[in-house]
Amino acid sequence: GQWKDGDPDVLIVVDAGYDVPRLAFLLKDLPVQVLGRMRSDRVLRRTVPPRMQGSRGRPPRHGGEFVFGDPTTWNTPDTQTVTGTRLYGTATARAWDRLHPRLTHRSAWTAQLGSLPVIEGTVIRLQVEHLPSGATPKPVWLWWSGTDATATQVDLLWQAFLRRFDIEHTFRLFKQTLGWTCPRIRTPEAADRWTWLILAVFAQLRLARPLAADLRRPWEKPNPPDRLTPARVRRDFRHLRPKAACPAGAPKSSHPGPGRPPGRKNTRPTPRHDVHTASKTDPPKRRTKKPTTPRPRRTG
């Protein structure tokens, strides 16, 4: 209910483990655009060229091949941009419009009756100058469910895909370091409260970044004080806590409440939850010995 008429389409960014054309086909009735990475060994098809007058036979459904690993099949890109970045150096993006995969009646399309659809999109090849880790950069192939992409849209798409890594690392920090999924919460309201507490903790770690020391591991590279990650700030947070002032006031004396009026019965029984533990009063299992046959005695 958050999306309204006139708002831009929702952009869903996924990695190569997802079937991006399949997602675009299933979500075609919604204001959604899908952007995902494809393997570098994929082969897509171009749009069928217009038929010449007087041609006979069944019209083809697929055009020429576009092989990711064969530059001779690429031809001239429809859009090309060159952008300077801080982490990756010069980023060159080239886009080819209206490319689609040739579908078959296998995997997710087994139950599809009749002819399979032609799902056209835009292919973007991103090549960066270097990586922050120093490894050899490889080109990244992206497939977007939209068509007729402009230079501004191409830059926005590949930047959104790179931004996905930051979002995934943030969720990993929530789960592995801050314990987002550790408690066994029983109600959705409690889950919402716990999520807001995790967000508050994350905000504290970001605000305390200039005050924390870089307690790095031997294999980690040193970072400037204003570029510490939340995980490194958390290592030194125990040294910052005694220095911070407590915003809460001193506790005030209070008296117990009046309680339930005399003569009124308790209409709210105590909730009892199953703790899934074995009872100690269960009788132990008896072990039965197998009957043994007596050996014959030797005589003489």
pLDDT reading at 53 higher than 70: no
Amino acid residing at 105: H
pLDDT confidence of 220, banded at 50, 70, 90?
confident
In sequence order, which ranges of the chain are alpha helices (DSSP H)?
20-26, 151-172, 188-207, 230-235, 237-240
Is domain 10-48+62-108+115-168 in CATH 3.30.70.260, yes or no?
A: no
**Higher pLDDT residue, 281 or 160?**
160
Domain boundaries defined on the chain? 10-48+62-108+115-168, 188-240
Question: Which pLDDT score, from 0 to 100, does residue 246 have?
Answer: 74
Task: Give the residue-averaged pLDDT of 63-76.
Answer: 93
pLDDT tens sequence across 77-134: 999 999 999 889 999 999 999 999 999 888 888 888 888 999 999 999 999 999 888 8
Check: CB of residue 45 under 8 Å from CB of residue 61.
no
Task: Give the residue-averaged pLDDT of 207-211.
Answer: 86
Amino acid residing at 265: K
Question: Which pLDDT score, from 0 to 100, does residue 41 have?
Answer: 93
pLDDT confidence of 285, banded at 50, 70, 90?
low
Question: Which pLDDT score, from 0 to 100, does residue 74 have?
Answer: 93
d(CA 141, CA 155): 14
Question: Which pLDDT score, from 0 to 100, does residue 154 have?
Answer: 95
Most distant pair of Cα atoms in the chain: their distance: 114
Check: CB of residue 151 under 8 Å from CB of residue 79.
yes
pLDDT tens sequence across 145-174: 999 999 999 999 999 999 888 888 888 989
Question: Which pLDDT score, from 0 to 100, does residue 238 have?
Answer: 81
pLDDT reading at 252 higher than 90: no
- Return mean pLDDT, the chain: 86
pLDDT reading at 280 higher than 90: no
Check: CB of residue 92 under 8 Å from CB of residue 114.
no
pLDDT confidence of 262, banded at 50, 70, 90?
confident
Cβ-based neighbour number of residue 226 at 10 Å: 7
Question: Which pLDDT score, from 0 to 100, does residue 175 have?
Answer: 92
